Structure 1
Amino acid sequence: MKNILCGAAAALALAVAAAPASAQTSERHYAGTAFGGYTITNPGFFGTLAGELGVATQVGTRYRAQADAPSDTETATPVVDVVFTLSGSVNKDCSFYSGNNSNARNIDFGVIGVRTGDNENVNNAFEMVGPAVANIDTLTAGCNFNNNVEIAKDDIRGLVNTAPGGYDTNEFQANIPYEVAASWTGVALNAQVAGSPQSLTVGTSANAGTKQQGAWRSRMDIDITAPVVTGKGLVAGDYSGTTTLTLRAL
């Protein structure tokens, strides 16, 4: 009996042994001529003794093939998911373009006309001729987070004459009440909807007001109106007051 392992067959055996996930090779084969010829393949303890005896007495031969390599250091993972957590932050901000200098924010009504004709009825003398009106608008206003829109007057009396001298309080007054009305496009607090017209008005008899909003950006219009004071004349002098608009991120 002849067993010849040629070069081509050897190459094939190596390729199979190197294939992924194949079992490690451990082969032991015996063959001999005694007892009319025999073969023993991968024997246990007694078969190995018999095979080795044939080799020792020169009536048999042996073939062995062993292959070994270290195992994976960890359990193999054919699919790996890698999760990248991305993060960043945006600062809270509110914006209101109010001109390039303080002159833009000094609202001067000029002369607030009163009835000065000597032919006026005494009940009309020195009363306001008509309302005092100021219109302010900016194309850039808003906040990028939940916010309060606040309007506050420094004096609930409105425009105040701080040096009126003496006067008959039954016939004259030294203040001019006014109303402030702001309008813009926005959304309610925490709402995630399309913007709609919003407004906040602080009336002539109110000192301040506030309205909560979600993030918004739009044009804002502010109208200041001092209605005609009736029933009393206005004491001569300078009248002044301040109104503060605040956009406050929450």
Structure 2
Amino acid sequence: MMRPAPWIALVAAMLTWPAHAGLFDDAEARKEIIRMRDEHAARLDTLEASSRANLQLANQIEAMKAEVAKLRGDVELMMHDIESVKKRQQDFYVDLDARLRKLETGGAGPSTQIDPAAESRDYESALNLLKGGKYPEAADAFDAFIAAYQGSSFLPSAHFWAGSAALQAKDTARATQHFNTVVNQWPQDARAPDALLGVANAQRAMGERRLEQKTLKAVIDQYPDSAAAKSAKQRLGS
């Protein structure tokens, strides 16, 4: 049951008072009623304003939470890209150092028959095609490099980049072959986790979502501490 407003109760009480009480004349009673009504209305306005402010604040907090979650995801992806670039750069110099050491020591093996200047030139040329967005040409250039320098220490990277270029050119079968070559022949190479992730990317491009999920799980199982595993977890989670 709703309680009457204070000013309504006052009017009811005043109607029961004797006329000769003289506590309030008609003008004073009207002023008191108006004052109490205005105070009540002001309190209601204040309460409504406070409720609206609280609702707006709650909406702003939720929007900020969503934005923070999005930014966190963007940062994680950026960190993955940065780690990948650092690793690739480090691998390049490690491979270069290993090749130079073999040349300096006159080490035996197929790599001693390679012209270092030509090898570096052709590898860099293929990389530049890839960086320039010329994906079919880059894939062909890396294939030519692989055929010409079969004893090169750059072979794992060459197969990886050949797969990446082929995937960008939408040649998924060719990409898968190169990525699998890295995984199968050099499973401990720094490129292997990204190559296995590349297989998943090719499967996704072909619409083979079940195989993609299976490959993503394999990335996590085989290379749990890699940046590729972090990316695989994010994709499985989404």
TM-score normalized with structure 1 length: 0.26
Which structure would you say has the larger RCO, counting Cα contacts within 8 Å and 6 or more residues apart? 1
TM-score normalized with structure 2 length: 0.27
- Which structure dedicates a bigger proportion of its chain to strand? 1
